[in-house]
């Protein structure tokens, strides 16, 4: 009877958390992971945008102040995506089972989900870049 123990990934505890406008949106999730898992305190504005359009403007405005673009992802780094209508979306890169996944608070799913990077970029999103918190 060999019972296989599943190796837990740090992102497991976030999957399924509810999407909450302002406090549980995509940027709030990325900041929470940085703080709770990696001990990093991103200096993001505390005023949260109410609409996706406002959120996009805020992400683009503060992106260079709070993070620097990097060439290759690492487990736990934030990533930016551009979706339909040029809307920005933030996620956190996860190295799992030999491939890249993205942990993100998805408004349409109403929750935090983890998707394969290749699936995410095939349908709805284009990768804008990988980042490292300053």
In which band, very low, low, confident or very high, does the pLDDT at 3 lie, cut at 50, 70 and 90?
Answer: low
The CA-based dihedral angle spanning residues 121, 124, 125, 126, taken in that order and rounded to the nearest 10 degrees? 70
3-state secondary structure of 5: coil
pLDDT of residue 51: 73
3-state secondary structure of 14: coil
pLDDT of residue 63: 85
pLDDT tens for each residue of 39-79: 999 988 766 666 777 777 887 888 888 999 999 999 999 99
8-state DSSP, 120: H
């Amino acid at each position: 009877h060999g019972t296989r123990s599943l190796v837990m990934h740090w992102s497991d505890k976030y999957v399924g958390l509810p999407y909450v406008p302002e406090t549980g949106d995509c940027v709030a999730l990325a900041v929470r992971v940085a703080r709770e898992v990696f001990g990093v305190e991103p200096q993001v504005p505390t005023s949260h945008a109410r609409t996706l359009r406002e959120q996009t403007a805020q992400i683009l405005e503060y992106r260079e102040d709070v993070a620097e673009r990097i060439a290759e992802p690492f487990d736990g780094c934030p990533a930016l995506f551009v979706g339909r209508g040029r809307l920005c979306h933030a996620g956190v890169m996860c190295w799992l089972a030999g491939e890249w996944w993205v942990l993100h608070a998805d408004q349409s799913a109403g929750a935090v989900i983890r998707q394969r990077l290749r699936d995410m970029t095939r349908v709805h999103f284009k990768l804008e870049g990988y980042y490292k918190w300053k």
